[in-house]
């Protein structure tokens, strides 16, 4: 294999926000680049004996708000971050390579980072321009240049790699032996937007060398399976967010406002964990909030959730010309929903004694996300009904985590969760067997056949997580397509699990009047509903439990370290220790770890389980 000869380059550099926060080694990104290039060479191998050229990515730009000079905190574009780990705006990054570069079938490549620089006049008021050698060491790349020299560098590098001008009309330039300019372009299956290819003034001269097909496929797929370094970083964000959830549980009491819980969470993760940004807007949904607590992104629910895989995106989401706006913040002209935590409902409810709190909050660190949901009774004790629903959801979570391993299909896992939730609803009398045979599992089979699960869990079981909360790769080519069935069509992936995937497991149970009313009027579903008993649950709100789980060689490991059993929840709410002395729920596969000296240190799980 031609990639055998790629030499990984290492660097002592790391990113840390300071104090006891995690130290992200820049080798994480070197390894990512290595993976991408390896994948790209494998991908082109069947067609050509020699691949060479430049992989060029453009980083995010610093936006300003409307017509003003207000600058929101910059967040790097995710593909760029994956390859370079550089949190500065307005950069470009390149991998230039040649499979024959140093002979013998090996591949040599160089990583070049392009950063903004400025002149003396600007420096007078704005500070010295960056020292490029210092920047190079900081980010662990081969060389750093001013972004002003990008166009010239690409030309020089393409020629050095063997680019020859078109000799005559009609001959064409896309020959096997010409170097290529690999650019990113591809569909995000959660938003319907397209990743936009890098752009700079003058890039048109390489139109014959452009390849927009290969890179996205390789890069998106690389992001799906995490390296150990990425998993360790995700373990940190889960650690920080888990401890912040515990802190919020301890502070929470009736008479507070939902937004105060959001504030506590953000403060804890930033102050103690160095996490400046949330992975997504906090959802603090307490009380009878119904539908609004099920989505932390509105668009996907309002549009994608209802599309099938057969519908081409292009007809519904016209792509605007990306020229000169390759990394802008996109906007969609689709219906907007006032979902929880967002503008329309800014976590602004007063907490009442009988409320269930559903808190979906996760912080990110150096652009790696966490996405965790805890549910608990605001008062510090469960009513019988609250406990029934909570346990149904917890059983769903355990059932999925117990089964997760390579080779298992995500759609099947969604069904496993629905099954446990329906079982719980049967147990507490909201559902009845409807005159069916008494074998509960057979009754549930019938319920699933008539899509009753989607009435109570109208969202997907979970999604990939990584640099994006809804991470890429859910519906890449060559993998199972999106289902068109209720519930299943909401899944952000239908893939078969593979080692290294990190995915959220987030079963939930909600009592949504509109859905319940529909089900009651639907003969096939309605016969299973005990209308009388259901009344007790109108206005109940919802319960969701969400962990972030990594698929291992023979099972899975839970990165989230939150209280999950009803006793654990009540215990920490009343001041109990966390993490606990004894892990009473080893079935959840929580892997206990703390951050020490900038690295994640595992705790002795065996000892905990035995103690």
Instruction: Identify residues 167-206 at the interface with a copy of itself (CB under 8 A).
Output: 188, 190-191, 193-196
The answer to whether residue 266 forms part of the interface with a copy of itself (CB under 8 A) is yes
Q: Count of residues for the chain?
A: 611
Among 132, 151, 229, 297, binds a copy of itself (CB under 8 A): 297
Instruction: Give, as ranges, the residues between 315 and 374 that touch a copy of itself (CB under 8 A).
Output: 325, 327-332, 335-339, 342-344, 346, 348-350
Give the one residue of 181, 234, 295, 394 binding a copy of itself; rule: CB under 8 A.
295
Query: According to CB under 8 A, which one of 62, 308, 314, 574 is a site residue for a copy of itself?
Result: 62
Rule CB under 8 A: say whether 88 interacts with a copy of itself. yes
The verdict on 89 binding a copy of itself (CB under 8 A) reads yes
Structure token digits, residue 52: 């060479």
CB atoms within 10 A of CB 336: 13
Number of helices and strands in the chain (H, E): 19, 22
Q: Does 515 bind a copy of itself (CB under 8 A)?
A: yes
Nearer to a copy of itself, 124 or 168 (CB): 124
Per CB under 8 A, does 290 bind a copy of itself?
yes
Burial of 256 (0-12, 13-18, 19+ CB in 10 A): middle
Instruction: Name which of 167 and 514 has its Cβ closer to a copy of itself.
Output: 514
Q: How far is the CB of 252 from a copy of itself (least distance, A)?
A: 13
Closer residue to a copy of itself in complex, CB, 194/382: 194
Q: What SS3 class is residue 595?
A: strand
The minimum distance between CB 593 and a copy of itself, in angstroms, equals: 23
**Binding window for a copy of itself (CB under 8 A); candidates: 6-14, 16-24, 429-437, 592-600:** 16-24
- Nearer residue to a copy of itself within complex by CB, 118 or 592: 118
- Judged by beta carbon, residue 121 or residue 597, the one nearer a copy of itself is 121
End-to-end CA distance of the chain: 50
Q: Which two tokens stand for residue 445?
A: 């089979």
Instruction: Give residues 210-249 in contact with a copy of itself (rule: CB under 8 A).
Output: none
d(CA 396, CA 502): 18
Q: Which of 3, 11, 17, 108 binds a copy of itself (CB under 8 A)?
A: 17
Nearer to a copy of itself, 75 or 533 (CB): 75
Residues 584-603, mask of contacts with a copy of itself (x by CB under 8 A) = --------------------
Residue 267 touching a copy of itself (CB under 8 A): yes
Instruction: Write down the least CB distance from residue 76 to a copy of itself, Å.
Output: 8
Distance CA 424, CA 422 (A): 5
Q: Give residues with Cβ within 8 angstroms of 171, minimum separation 6.
A: none
Q: Which is nearer to a copy of itself, 52 or 342 (CB)?
A: 342
Taking contact as CB under 8 A, which single stretch among the options 24-32, 150-158, 274-282, 307-315 is the one that binds a copy of itself?
274-282
Contacts for 430-437 with beta carbons within 8 Å, 24 or more apart?
A: 430/529, 430/530, 430/533, 430/534, 430/537, 431/528, 431/529, 431/530, 432/528, 432/529, 432/530, 433/528, 434/527, 434/528, 435/527
Residues numbered 434-463 forming contacts with a copy of itself, rule: CB under 8 A: 458-459
Tell which residue, 478, 471, 482, has the closest CA to residue 311: 482
**75 touching a copy of itself, by CB under 8 A:** yes
**Near a copy of itself by CB under 8 A: residue from 18, 103, 104, 575:** 18
CB of 68 to a copy of itself, least distance (A): 5
> Would you say 59 and 90 are in contact if contact means Cβ atoms under 8 Å apart?
yes
Nearest approach, Cβ of 459 to a copy of itself (angstroms)? 8
Smallest gap from residue 166 Cβ to a copy of itself (A):
31
* Percent of the chain that is helix, strand, coil (3-state, to 5): 35, 15, 50
Query: Cβ of residue 452: shortest distance to a copy of itself, in angstroms?
Result: 15
Q: Contact 549/558 with Cβ under 8 angstroms?
A: yes
Q: Based on CB atoms, which residue is closest to a copy of itself, 19 or 152?
A: 19
Residue 28 and residue 196: Cα distance in Å, rounded? 24
Distance CA 239, CA 548 (A): 11
What residues from 485 to 504 belong to the interface with a copy of itself (CB under 8 A)?
none
DSSP assigned state of 351: P
Count the residues of the shown chain that bind a copy of itself, applying the rule CB under 8 A.
Answer: 97
Q: What are phi and psi of 535, to 5 degrees?
A: -55, -35
| Per-residue 3-state assignment (H helix, E strand, C coil) for 36-52 | HHHHHHHHHCCCCCCCE
We find the least distance from the C-beta atom of residue 156 to a copy of itself, in angstroms, to be: 23
Site string for a copy of itself, 124-143 (x = CB under 8 A): xxxxx-x-------------
Contact residue for a copy of itself among 118, 385, 565, 576 (CB under 8 A)? 118
> Read out DSSP for 538-567?
TT--EEE-BEEEEE-SSSEEE------SHH
Alpha-carbon distance of 441 to 439, in angstroms, equals 6
Binding residues among 548-577 for a copy of itself as defined by CB under 8 A: none
| Spatial separation of the C-alpha atoms in residues 575 and 424, rounded to whole Å | 29
CA nearest to 301, candidates 337, 277, 250, 249: 337
Closest CB to a copy of itself among 66 and 532?
66
Q: Tell me which residues in 98-117 interact with a copy of itself (CB under 8 A).
A: 116
């Amino acid at each position: 294999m031609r990639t055998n000869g790629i030499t990984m380059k290492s660097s002592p550099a790391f990113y840390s926000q300071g104090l006891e926060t995690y130290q992200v080694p820049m080798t994480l990104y070197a390894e990512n680049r290595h993976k991408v290039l390896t994948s790209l060479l494998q991908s082109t191998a069947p067609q050509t004996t020699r691949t060479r050229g430049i992989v060029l990515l453009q980083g995010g730009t610093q936006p300003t708000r409307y017509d003003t000079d207000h600058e929101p905190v910059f967040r790097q574009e995710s593909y760029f971050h994956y390859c370079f780990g550089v949190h500065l705006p307005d950069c470009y990054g390149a991998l230039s390579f040649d499979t024959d570069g140093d002979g013998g079938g090996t591949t040599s490549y160089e990583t070049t980072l392009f950063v903004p620089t400025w002149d003396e006049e600007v420096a007078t008021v704005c500070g010295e321009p960056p020292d490029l050698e210092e920047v190079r060491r900081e980010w662990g790349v081969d060389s750093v240049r001013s972004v002003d020299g990008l166009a010239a560098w690409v030309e020089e590098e393409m020629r050095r790699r063997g680019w020859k001008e078109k000799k005559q009309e009609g001959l064409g330039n896309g020959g096997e032996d010409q170097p290529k300019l690999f650019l990113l372009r591809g569909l995000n299956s959660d938003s319907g937007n397209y990743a936009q290819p890098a752009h700079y003034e003058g890039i048109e001269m390489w139109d014959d060398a452009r390849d927009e097909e290969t890179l996205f496929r390789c890069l998106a797929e690389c992001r799906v399976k995490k390296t150990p370094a990425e998993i360790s970083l995700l373990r940190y964000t889960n650690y920080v967010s888990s401890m912040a959830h515990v802190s919020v549980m301890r502070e929470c009491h009736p008479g507070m406002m939902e937004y105060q819980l959001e504030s506590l969470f953000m403060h804890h993760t930033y102050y103690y964990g160095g996490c400046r940004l949330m992975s997504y807007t906090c959802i603090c949904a307490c009380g009878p909030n119904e539908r609004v607590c099920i989505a932390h992104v509105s668009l996907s629910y309002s549009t994608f959730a209802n599309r099938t895989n057969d519908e081409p995106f292009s007809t519904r989401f016209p792509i605007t010309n990306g020229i000169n706006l390759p990394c802008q913040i996109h906007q969609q002209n689709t219906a907007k929903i006032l979902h929880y935590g967002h503008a329309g409902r800014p976590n602004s409810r007063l907490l009442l004694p009988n409320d269930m709190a559903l808190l979906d909050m996760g912080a990110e660190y150096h652009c790696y996300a966490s996405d965790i949901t805890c549910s608990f009774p605001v008062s510090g004790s469960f009513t019988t009904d609250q406990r029934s629903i909570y346990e149904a959801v917890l059983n769903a979570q355990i059932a999925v985590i117990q089964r997760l391993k390579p080779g298992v299909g995500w759609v099947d896992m969604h069904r496993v969760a629905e099954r446990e939730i329906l079982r719980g609803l049967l147990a507490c009398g909201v559902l009845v067997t409807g005159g069916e045979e008494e074998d509960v599992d057979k009754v549930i089979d019938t319920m699933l056949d008539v899509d009753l699960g989607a009435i109570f869990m109208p969202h997907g079981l979970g999604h990939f997580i990584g640099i994006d909360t809804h991470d890429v790769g859910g519906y890449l080519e060559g993998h199972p397509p999106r289902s068109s069935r209720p519930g299943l069509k909401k899944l952000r992936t239908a893939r078969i699990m593979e080692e290294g995937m990190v995915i959220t497991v987030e079963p939930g149970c909600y009592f949504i009047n509109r859905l319940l009313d529909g089900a009651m009027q639907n003969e096939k579903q309605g016969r299973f509903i005990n209308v009388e008993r259901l009344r007790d649950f109108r206005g109940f709100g919802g319960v969701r439990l969400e962990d972030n789980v990594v698929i291992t060689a023979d099972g899975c490991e839970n990165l989230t370290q939150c209280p999950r059993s009803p006793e654990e929840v009540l215990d920490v709410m009343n001041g109990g220790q966390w993490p606990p002395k004894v892990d009473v729920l080893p079935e959840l596969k929580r892997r206990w770890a703390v951050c020490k000296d900038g690295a994640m240190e595992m705790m002795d799980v065996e000892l905990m389980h035995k103690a």
